[in-house]
Every structure is written in structure tokens, then in C-alpha cells.
Structure 1
């Protein structure tokens, strides 16, 4: 294990992702060292004849703000700084790529996301991240 842990925490605003962030915050706080990288990944959506790129970008921005609201509040309440970023793309691939590029020692994520369809999607995202991750993955219910 590295002397200073960097934990990547993907959040989507769901209860499991909020609990995952709480778990990661507890781990860093109890260790007295380490850092958190909180990410929100929005699915890329192509523009069409009826929906402009600007409309899509605005929609993704609103979704990301909503997803990160609870995360920011938790970090503020716990007086902990974290690198927070938003990315567009395939969620699992983006999470794995970020973990590799940023040298993360662990990924902590929720087991399922928001809603029935999103829950299935993000459940499959968690499964895919486990398979492809370069580092240990902790799944929080």
C-alpha cells in the first residue's frame, strides 16, 4: 500500500454513491492522510437536428451540479478538501481511465445509481469497473 492513499469516488447523487463518499471520507479522516478525487461522469449524448450541443451541455451541467450537491455538502460539513471534477463519456471507461491517470490507490463507489433504469446501468458500471480497474475497488451499498 502507498504511504499516501488517493481514493477515487464516482458520485451520481444516489444514496449508495453518497454512502460511498461518506465511507471514503471516514477512511481518509481516520488515516490522517490521503486525498479524495470526487468525480461525476455524464453520459456523452450526440447532438441532433432537434437538440443542439449547447442544450446537451447545459443539461449535462445541471445533472452534474445536482449529482455533486450532496458530495459538496458532505465535504464541507466534514471540513475536508477534495479534487472535484466532471467528465463526459462512458462511465466505467472514464472511471478506470481516471484511476490510472491519477495514480489512485483505490476506487470507492456505490453499488447502484439513481432510479430503476439508471440503477441497472450503474450496477453494470460498478461491475465493469471491478473488472477493468488497475486498483482495488470497494463497493458500498
Structure 2
């Protein structure tokens, strides 16, 4: 059976920013270098890469809309929770109860980065940036 023509995908767009964050510990905050990455091929997701000394990077993938909402008001449940702090920062709680990391970063910097992703891929156009062919090929067997 002939396959319908597939519209070409837009060129991939990538946004990468270094963003210092602080791991909040019982004693005092510990600065952590992070990289926040966005690619139009995974348009709903922000990847936050935590570059830990002496360890492999830890990557958390978060919904970009959730991150934007979390800059304004508390959101999330389970392993991902975000919310603004009174000092102009955003608190991210990542991981299961008992093994959760609490991290904070500059609210303005994070919100600005997320808004830039919506310039690259406007809300409602995300599916037009996803390459569905590998999935379809797998399903066809």
C-alpha cells in the first residue's frame, strides 16, 4: 500500500544555556554547574544537565510548560515539583521522596529561557517538529 507523502520537517532548532544552580543541603547551598538544553525535535521538553564533580552528569527532562508555570506558582507532584521562592529564585524538587534533591536557580533566567523556546517552537505547533518516521517504522515491524 503506498504511503502518503510526508511533509518535510523544519530544520532542527537547538537552544543551550549554562545556568548555575544551587543544591540545597542541610548545611549550606552547594553551587552546581548545569546546562539547560532545548531541541525542537523534542519540543515539549527541557533537559537540565547537572554537571556533578567526579560523577557522570545527571539529566532531568521536564515539560517546558510546567517549568514556565513553576516560575510563577507552585506546580507538580511526585518526582517533579517546582515553585517560586520569595527571594526571586525558583525551587526545583527532583526525585522520589527520601531521595529528593532540592535545587534553586534564578527565576528570571529560567523563565526567559523557557520563553525563548516558545519563540523557536510556538505552542500548538510542537507536533510539526517531531520526526515520527522512526516510531512508525518500528510499529510496521
Shorter-chain TM range is under 0.3
Bigger Rg, which one: 2
Question: How high is the TM-score relative to the length of structure 2?
Answer: 0.24
Give the structure with the higher percent helix: 1
Structure of higher RCO (CA pairs closer than 8 Å, 6+ residues apart):
1
**Higher strand proportion (structure 1 or 2):** 2
TM-score, scaled to structure 1: 0.24
